[in-house]
Amino acid sequence: MIDDLYPGANELEGRAIRDIVALAMDAPAAAKSGHSGTAMALAPLGVTLFSRLLRHDPTAPEWPDRDRFILSCGHASILQYGLAHVFGYDLSAQDLRAFRQPHSRTPGHPENGVAPTVEVTTGPLGQGIANGVGMALAERILRHDHGEDLVSHRTWVLAGDGCLEEGISHEAASLAGAWGLDRLTVFYDDNHITIDGRTELALRDDAAMRFRAYGWHVIELGEAANQLDVLEAAAREAMSETDRPTLVILRSHIGFPAADMMDRREAHGSPFSAASISAAKTILGVSDEPFSLDPALPSEMLSHLEPRRRTRMAWYEHEANAGDEGRRLREQLESGGATTLSVLPTPFEGGSHVATRKALQRAMDTFFPQSRTMTAGSADLTDNTGVVLPGATPQDRETPGGRQIYYGIREFAMGAILVGQALHGGLRPIGSTFFVFSDYMRPAIRLASLSHASALFVFTHDSVGVGEDGPTHQPVEQLMSLRAMPRLHVVRPSDANETLDLVGRYLAKAHPPATALVLSRQDVAVLEGADAIASAQGAQHGGYVVREHADARFTLVGTGSELSQCLRASDELAERGVATRVVALPCWECFEEQSATYRASVLRRDLPSVSLEAGATLGWSRYVDHAIGLDSFGLSAPGPYLFEHFGLNADSLIHHVTETLSL
């Protein structure tokens, strides 16, 4: 009977498919939430990939040269968990029973680091496709650097209608086609169903023509979702492509073989009724008991995958015998692309005036020649943002090892591709654009933070200092918006030398957190003397005392270019006999990671305090008594005029201090 449902499946594969389809109904029903239909329909494809095609070994899930599998339609997470279990990965039947329960290894959407086989965190539709582009790009660069004997794997992505509808899929697919990422295969589950109903309510694209226009190889399989030999043949055809990615379009029937739920929108996001589950299990020929998983399957699948295990063991043997090349690759992977920096940039002269974005370019000029792991690029603003890599070739199909990446005007895809590169391992990716356009890539930054991806997001033109371009290009709320994101380190350096120092520390650190580096367009005074020493010693802590005074009556707090205004105000107040402390807070998240004693010593909340920052004041109340900033949109005018017009200057600080102290 199983062959009638899933033609081409051998006995072992048939049992695996049946278990996964039953699980896809049982787990959401037990949790009273979840998505059964897509997981049921794609179970044959998942089993085909894991059984016949993927380069993987469940006994060594972190094998560096494994194929990467990405479930872009992350709502079908029970499919991935079921595959991991039946193929012998460390995911137990009890883990499956705990689907969507507190602190389980089987959360509602796949989270990397929680369950085996989950390479990236997916759920927000479309981002998995772009993550896959990033992983395929990382594989190509590392393969170019270290040779096919050490790096030779593929990236496989399962995506649905929602993934292709989201705009990020257009951006990412266009880039993948332009670069000719031949080891990337995306299976498009064309099931014609969304939560609202038939896709034709809002989607009438010709996906095949669209992807061919991007430069992809396209395979249209039609009604073959259950035919394992047909699925395998399509995958092998994709593997034969040597100069372009492949899209395989598969017409599936959501909820198959549950007759009363198949091809219905209810099969997308609603648990099936007990009657529906029983009827479908009768068709499958499996027990009606919930979670009646075949206990012999995992060990039998491990035996079935023995050739894959031998391939993995041979790879490790080759790596061990590859001398320096094997050692370098291992170090790159284990450190998350950290770089040992033996030469530091020449510091900028104290008292000079330098935009912090220009300091980033000096950092690139010095650090890139020492790095085997850095990639850097921009959303069409490479020169403006200071990420030109000296001597680097552009990434392209003709230059597969190119580290200078031109993302085009595709901020969202750039962000998600950075995440894919970072989570692949071995590279330290950097992407840049103007700060106001962080809005376009915020969802990717969020997933970078959620998934602990060591990606550096560089944002320049960080305030109304942008000037004549006007309020559309002047970031106001973006700084606080990103600071609200858990885990993300939002860094706004005080001057050019602090920028050099913090970028160097980031590149040298193993597995740093996702970081947003926010830099100025306008020139900023370079700290000198004791102020510069305080920066060098304290910036890495996220907050530090720039100037201390035993008789201080007030604390002035600043970030970025506004710190220089705090120092100027401190000098002028000193001339009036008012002693003040000056504090810099370049990274709030870093600062919060310090001890309570250290934070208290920096802030000294026993004194009145005021902050100055060219952005929204929301949130400053956690650190100061009063905040001076900008809670309106900007204005089209020269930058210096705007700082004066909006009172983002030393005079405003002086006025507040003298008024508060009734001087």
Q: What is the pLDDT of residues 250-306, one digit of tens each?
A: 999 999 999 999 999 999 988 999 999 999 999 999 999 999 999 999 999 999 999
Q: 403 CB contacts (<8 Å, ≥6 apart)? A: 141, 368, 374, 375, 376, 389, 392, 393, 395
The total of structural domains in the chain comes to: 3
pLDDT confidence of residue 184: 98
- The answer to whether 244 touches 180, Cβ cutoff 8 Å, is yes
CA atoms of 58 and 69, how far apart (whole Å): 13
Do 482 and 547 fall into the same domain?
no
User: What angle (nearest 5°) sits at the alpha carbon of residue 407, between those of residues 239 and 457?
Assistant: 115
pLDDT confidence of residue 1: 42
Given 308, 339, 372, the domain boundary residue is 308
Would the pLDDT of 229 be above 70? yes
Q: What's the CATH code of the domain at 608?
A: 3.40.50.920
Beta-sheet pairing, 404-406 with 374-378: parallel
Q: Which H/E stretch holds residue 184?
A: strand 184-189
Do 478 and 394 fall into the same domain?
yes
Would the pLDDT of 2 be above 60? no
Contacts 24+ apart (CB under 8 A), 396-399: 396/178, 396/179, 396/180, 397/179, 397/180, 397/243
For residue 320, tell me if it sits in a domain: no
Q: Which H/E stretch holds residue 492?
A: none
Q: Which H/E stretch holds residue 592?
A: helix 588-592
User: Measuring CA to CA, how many Å separate 484 from each of 474, 488, 489, 503, 614?
Assistant: 19, 9, 10, 22, 17
For the segment 346-385, what is each residue's pLDDT rounded down to a tens digit? 999 999 999 999 999 999 999 999 999 999 999 999 999 9
For residue 190, tell me if it sits in a domain: yes
Q: Per DSSP, what are the bridge partners of residue 626?
A: 610
Q: What's the CATH code of the domain at 19?
A: 3.40.50.970
Looking at residue 380, what DSSP letter applies?
S
User: What angle (nearest 5°) sits at the alpha carbon of residue 574, between those of residues 571 and 577?
Assistant: 165
Q: Which of 187, 188, 179 is nearest to 137 (CA)?
A: 179
CA atoms of 176 and 395, how far apart (whole Å): 11
Given 502, 525, 548, the domain boundary residue is 525
pLDDT confidence of residue 269: 85
Would the pLDDT of 577 be above 90? yes
Q: Which of 357, 610, 562 is nearest to 464 (CA)?
A: 562
pLDDT confidence of residue 196: 87
Q: Which domain holds residue 469?
A: 353-525
Strand residue runs (E) in 119-183: 155-160
Q: How far is CA 659 from the centre of its chain?
A: 46
Give the full edge-to-edge strand order of the sheet including 374-378. 404-406, 374-378, 428-434, 456-460, 515-518, 489-491
- The answer to whether 338 touches 373, Cβ cutoff 8 Å, is yes
Token representation of residue 521: 């367009």
For the segment 376-403, what is each residue's pLDDT rounded down to a tens digit? 999 999 999 999 999 999 999 999 999 9
Do 496 and 545 fall into the same domain?
no
**Mean pLDDT, the chain, integer:** 97
Beta-sheet pairing, 404-406 with 609-612: unpaired
Token representation of residue 172: 């990412």
Write the secondary structure of 44-106 as one string of H (helix), E (strand) and C (coil). Answer: HHHHHHHHHHCCCCCCCCCCCCCCEEEECCHHHHHHHHHHHHHCCCCCCHHHHHCCCCCCCCC
Q: Sorting pLDDT into bands at 50, 70 and 90, what band is 663?
A: confident
Q: 47 CB contacts (<8 Å, ≥6 apart)? A: 9, 13, 16, 17, 20, 83, 86, 228
For residue 655, tell me if it sits in a domain: yes
Beta-sheet pairing, 353-354 with 524-525: antiparallel
Would the pLDDT of 564 be above 90? yes
For residue 533, tell me if it sits in a domain: no
For residue 321, tell me if it sits in a domain: no
Catalytic positions: 411
Do 428 and 459 fall into the same domain?
yes
Given 282, 308, 334, the domain boundary residue is 308
Per-residue burial over 103-126, b if 16 or more Cβ lie within 10 Å, else e, is ebbbbbbbbbeebbbbbbbbbbbb
Per-residue burial over 210-239, b if 16 or more Cβ lie within 10 Å, else e, is bbeebbbbbbebeebbbbbebbbebbeebe
Do 483 and 550 fall into the same domain?
no
Query: Averaged over 601-616, what is the pLDDT?
Result: 98
CA atoms of 22 and 5, how far apart (whole Å): 14
Do 366 and 281 fall into the same domain?
no
Taking the CA atoms of 127, 128, 133 and 138 in sequence, report the sign of the dihedral they define.
positive
Do 16 and 131 fall into the same domain?
yes
Do 184 and 270 fall into the same domain?
yes
Q: Which of 622, 606, 611 is nearest to 583 (CA)?
A: 611
Question: pTM value?
Answer: 0.97
Beta-sheet pairing, 404-406 with 626-628: unpaired
Do 260 and 289 fall into the same domain?
yes
Taking the CA atoms of 375, 376, 377 and 378 in sequence, report the sign of the dihedral they define.
positive
pLDDT confidence of residue 4: 86
Do 153 and 231 fall into the same domain?
yes
CA atoms of 471 and 211, how far apart (whole Å): 36
pLDDT confidence of residue 293: 96
For residue 179, tell me if it sits in a domain: yes
Q: Per DSSP, what are the bridge partners of residue 246?
A: 185, 217
Q: Give the rounded percent of residues in the chain with a pLDDT score beyond 70.
A: 100
pLDDT confidence of residue 164: 97
Do 553 and 519 fall into the same domain?
no
How many residues would you count in the chain? 663
For residue 326, tell me if it sits in a domain: no
Do 405 and 303 fall into the same domain?
no
For residue 558, tell me if it sits in a domain: yes
CA atoms of 289 and 281, how far apart (whole Å): 9
- The answer to whether 230 touches 15, Cβ cutoff 8 Å, is no
Would the pLDDT of 475 be above 80? yes
pLDDT confidence of residue 395: 98
- The answer to whether 186 touches 245, Cβ cutoff 8 Å, is yes
pLDDT confidence of residue 460: 98
Token representation of residue 395: 């990434």
